Structure 1
């Protein structure tokens, strides 16, 4: 063993030890390695920093932005709602649906991208169900890794091994050649995690204390029950083609229009705000709040030819993606003091509708729209979340007192889910077709999301999890160092020497084990690059078909379950799941052995060696 190789192995051992004790933080350890390894002379400083320009790192950053686009447009929330709806209160069913969904989507796109997209979905699910995020983050990463065993394009290691076969004049693998192994592994993974997640050291309270009111609390406090109505504008209604400012419904009929649902959405904007210049159309569904309890809604419906529709939830609580509420106070310096809600033009100036008034800690019994406001009055406003956030930035006339708990789930670009899905479809299509490199496909999707106003620059930069990227960048130099010092060649020679004369199953098991162990320290793509030639050399020595050996390497490269640095997929869930190095050891090592057993049993049947 050369002195340089010994030095690299010492660095590797030190890094693993620090990861294991979690002192200091893993991204800090990565920075220490970037600084320290060039001092050994094995690699240069430029090579140590090369990870910052590595396409996989840029790809991960871009996929964070794609995930943010799906969150901001409500796609992620709807996915989480669907999972919760199908699973009910059964945590095992939720786990199974989550893992199957992730593995299915990951079979046609980057597993790292799938995790970046599903992390906010899982966080929302666990928050709604009162679970610690650590209960589902590990199953998420495991399912994403298993997705790499589903199809040829599911993960880069599969393509690396496929390309190595073709370079040797062999046909390579078909698109679904991996599926007969991946499906049994996925089913075993679901069953395994249903039992094994109890071994996790789950941190963080399952049911955090509530410090903010919910919308339902305000509905009770301001006595909003039985004030909400849904009505559809009939084709012959006199409201068709009229601007709201011309109709003046609030003054004429005591009717507050809270939201308008378009019958024919434009560019995905299904819901529109009731502004002065808004023109009503036939088929529009208007959400009304009757500010005056004496108003006869049936008379209003008959007068304006509106069709009554049933409510779908108490006081529009099923529309919290589009609209929210905020409690504000009128300060002494406010221009609204002495004015009514109508003369103060609250809705025109703030894009928010007043639906409640508290004076002296009790609901005001008078006519809401005609009551002059006083200093200290508390108002309840309803409207788009964007307008509520603008109100926070300008406290001159209205001081924001309380935001509801639902603000955490607010969707800034709720009407642009179709555009976000279209950008995602473009990215997946480009990745599957191979027309452009994966990183370019992801960057194209980011630009589309920005052009379609699904994300803005500020939210895009905030969405990138820099701690995960630094950790990945810090580990990449080990691949260069191990190759340069002969560590990989030494491992290959030992493998060939120790497997001479052994049975096929034993050779495949050893090949799987070496690949999986090597994947503990370098990326699974680099592992595939290094081990694919070794697999073909072993097959040639034995006079066997190279396909089962190549398939074993590809599957083992995806079986990176054992440490948080084995794969970017694991690294991404460390923070949200609040995991330690030991959590991955306890869960990952037994399952890796299970996957090895399945691989050794099935691969020779699917791809005969002799």
Structure 2
């Protein structure tokens, strides 16, 4: 007997009249157990979701096709594609630039940062999918938290709240708005206008901003705040500069017309042996932008090149060197190219026991020609070797080498040799964009996606797919990075909860509850009625998606309004507002599911923040909706 048929065999034993009630009890029981597991166990949420799918198939209430339908749901595919879009913005440096701008404006003031993040998310989310906005801003928020020392929870929750509120800003901002609008048109009523919901959305956004500022420390203990403000555990380039005593050695110089450098290679000029000069890299203009050229001994110099130099001798010797070779000194900010960390990187490598490099000097192993990197320091017995002796010193088993050059060459070190191993990349590498040259292309691709989504020329999932293909075509992302960027636990969590919406509808649970509500609302005023509609949406939205909630509740709300002789518009608008205000659990909206892992949230975190905020939005709804849509 198949496992999924066990439930069906049990149902045969029951009278037909009790089958639906039995199934509804089973669904409610499974839903209750799932919520308990989310709340009080240490199991991962995606594991709980898989268990829920399995259990609902075993009962026989849903067929495997129904229970697993989430895997083929266009919204799930859309979320996966938006993760790829977000990673493309990270790889091209756009996310870093956004976080850098917010930090520049707000400094390390957590209140200002929260306000800027929420305003940015609400504005962008008013014209595109809130799920897409969250996918874009998750890496931005992580970067801001890393650089400001603010705990990531304090910023990730406001991001989520602002994304949900952005659904209240315009008619096309979120799917539930369109569902409610189509339901009005289905009963032959005029639909909402593009900005009909905006006044209420602005009111909710103001309340949300104030609430997030007041509640910003609710989810973070004092110990967590102190830990987030400590220095990063990984060393940074500035630490390496200090440990290897590199201060004062870095210079920039431009090749002037007539210079002996022009047309020559590093080998031709014998810079290291005769002048004590290391060329770390070359800044050169290509296609209207400046790029860093990796160097080896055969790299040729051109007029106008700006050289990044490591010079170990005195200042007087350096001035003589510049005059002899007709080079013009250029401004260098920061110690040893630390202000050029996006282009110039460092890493420590340790010699392996079986390395063939032992007993050889750096000149003999010709490190630069093989790896396009320059060894700028050797540390032995926890102390750096003097720079003047660096290239004549024979390598020993305990030596650690510090290499410098472009980040691309540094990343390749891990796979290019059996002689040494990269100990660790400095923390600065996290902010380096491997596809920074494609930033403009990424912005164009993003704009195409937004235009397609706003215009409705193609479905949202098709717009995101087109944007992903364009990202790949313009080399904003590669296949390996695209697959790695998809956060599968978030997708599994959403997929695992979707069968409950099908099961509740199939077993009559939603209809039963709605009929009871309609019977008990008779005789009360319209304010009480829309309050109950809001609470019903909030209750159903604890367990199923806000889109599914809108599909189930919108016709009920409109029917209640018409049967009581009220205008259907305030009731329909209340459904739109309430379904977007699903703050209480992480399982009813992709927006919330997506931030669970990056923010390190628990189920109770959403309850703690979501319940008071939902009550505040209810008050705003009851006050503002009747002002703009009279009963």
**If the length of structure 2 is used for normalisation, what is the TM-score?**
0.88
**1:332 shift after superposition:** 7.3
The alignment status of 1:9 with 2:28, answered yes or no, reads yes
- Tell me if structure 1 keeps the 8 A contact 2:344–2:405: yes
Unaligned stretches of 5+ residues in structure 1: none
- Tell me if structure 2 keeps the 8 A contact 1:337–1:375: yes
The alignment status of 1:309 with 2:292, answered yes or no, reads no
Q: Which residue of 1 aligns with 2:215?
A: 196
- Tell me if structure 1 keeps the 8 A contact 2:357–2:419: yes
**1:362 shift after superposition:** 4.0
Residues 14-59 of structure 1 show CA distances to partners (whole Å, capped at 9, x for unaligned) of: 2222222135332222111111112333211110000011111111
- Tell me if structure 2 keeps the 8 A contact 1:254–1:295: no
Q: Which residue of 2 aligns with 1:375?
A: 396
- Tell me if structure 1 keeps the 8 A contact 2:361–2:395: no
**1:62 shift after superposition:** 1.2
Q: Which residue of 2 aligns with 1:80?
A: 99
**If the length of structure 1 is used for normalisation, what is the TM-score?**
0.91
Alpha carbons of structure 1 residues 212 and 368: separation in structure 2 relative to 1, 3 Å:
farther
Cα distance between partner residues in 2 of 1:92 and 1:122: 14
**1:73 shift after superposition:** 2.3
**1:200 shift after superposition:** 1.9
Query: Which piece of structure 1 moves more, 371-380 or 278-287?
Result: 278-287
Q: Which residue of 2 aligns with 1:213?
A: 235
Alpha carbons of structure 1 residues 359 and 7: separation in structure 2 relative to 1, 3 Å:
closer
Number of residue equivalences: 608
Q: Which residue of 1 aligns with 2:75?
A: 56
- Which residue of 13, 31, 34 corresponds with 2:53? 34
Residues 47-95 of structure 1 show CA distances to partners (whole Å, capped at 9, x for unaligned) of: 0000011111111111111111222222222222222222222111111
Q: Which residues in structure 2 correspond to 1:145-164 (within 5 Å)?
A: 145-164=164-183
Query: Which piece of structure 1 moves more, 51-60 or 101-110?
Result: 101-110
- Tell me if structure 2 keeps the 8 A contact 1:292–1:368: no
Cα distance between partner residues in 1 of 2:611 and 2:233: 40
Alpha carbons of structure 1 residues 484 and 251: separation in structure 2 relative to 1, 3 Å:
same
- Tell me if structure 1 keeps the 8 A contact 2:110–2:150: no
Alpha carbons of structure 1 residues 238 and 151: separation in structure 2 relative to 1, 3 Å:
farther
Q: Which residues in structure 2 correspond to 1:204-243 (within 5 Å)?
A: 205-207=227-229, 211-233=233-255
Calculate the aligned-residue CA RMSD, in Å.
2.8
**1:456 shift after superposition:** 2.2
Q: Which residue of 1 aligns with 2:14?
A: none
**1:148 shift after superposition:** 0.9
Query: Which piece of structure 1 moves more, 68-77 or 268-277?
Result: 268-277
Cα distance between partner residues in 1 of 2:506 and 2:290: 56
Cα distance between partner residues in 2 of 1:10 and 1:30: 15
Q: Which residue of 2 aligns with 1:118?
A: 137
**1:217 shift after superposition:** 2.0
SS at match of 2:349: strand
- Tell me if structure 1 keeps the 8 A contact 2:164–2:591: yes
Q: Which residue of 1 aligns with 2:10?
A: none
Q: Which residue of 2 aligns with 1:350?
A: 371
Query: Which piece of structure 1 moves more, 599-608 or 54-63?
Result: 599-608
Cα distance between partner residues in 2 of 1:228 and 1:331: 29
Q: Which residue of 2 aligns with 1:318?
A: 339
Unaligned stretches of 5+ residues in structure 2: 1-19
Q: Which residue of 1 aligns with 2:589?
A: 567
Residues 273-299 of structure 1 show CA distances to partners (whole Å, capped at 9, x for unaligned) of: 235565656655433222444674444
- Which residue of 183, 193, 212 corresponds with 2:202? 183
The alignment status of 1:397 with 2:397, answered yes or no, reads no
The alignment status of 1:441 with 2:463, answered yes or no, reads yes
Cα distance between partner residues in 2 of 1:283 and 1:506: 75
Cα distance between partner residues in 2 of 1:384 and 1:102: 34
Q: Which residue of 2 aligns with 1:506?
A: 528
Residues 497-534 of structure 1 show CA distances to partners (whole Å, capped at 9, x for unaligned) of: 33334333222222111112111111001111112222
Cα distance between partner residues in 1 of 2:112 and 2:411: 37
Cα distance between partner residues in 1 of 2:484 and 2:497: 24
Alpha carbons of structure 1 residues 348 and 514: separation in structure 2 relative to 1, 3 Å:
same
